[in-house]
Amino acid sequence: MRMSDRSAELALGWIEAWIKMDMQWLRQRLAPDFVHVSPFGKLEGRESYLATVEPMARKSVIELTVKDVIASGNQAAVWFENRTPNGAVETCDWVRVENDRIKEIRSFYDSAMIRQVLSPADQESLNSA
């Protein structure tokens, strides 16, 4: 399998794991020193990321629908729609793979609808984790 194929596979797996809330898949495929950057801020470390984001994803994600994925080398971009309780949010996640694990994701989206769903305490934990 070419690296770009594996990068695309892991990027799609990332979305599938969130659709199913499959924390086991995420723990196995995210690097221990995983980094996630989003409009909410930067989260470092797989366990810290999952502990912070999982409860909020359960509030703010009703459905995820993949629109497209492109990959080159150890990177992939997955474009998807996140249907929240307040409407759809178009999102693009830039995924970087290292040693067959997801090392970093940079998420691009308008956070306004998600902010409406999350409490101020939830949002603060995303900014300070």
Domains, the chain, with CATH or none: 3-118 (3.10.450.50)
Q: How many CA atoms lie within 13 A of 55 on its CB side?
A: 10
Tens of pLDDT, residue by residue over 70-95, are 999 999 999 999 998 888 999 999 99
pLDDT category of residue 51 using cuts at 50, 70 and 90: very high
Q: Which pTM does this prediction carry? A: 0.88
d(CA 122, CA 52): 8
Residue tagged 């459905």 (tokens):
63
Euclidean distance between the first and final Cα of the chain, in Å? 36
Residue bearing tokens 């470092």: 44
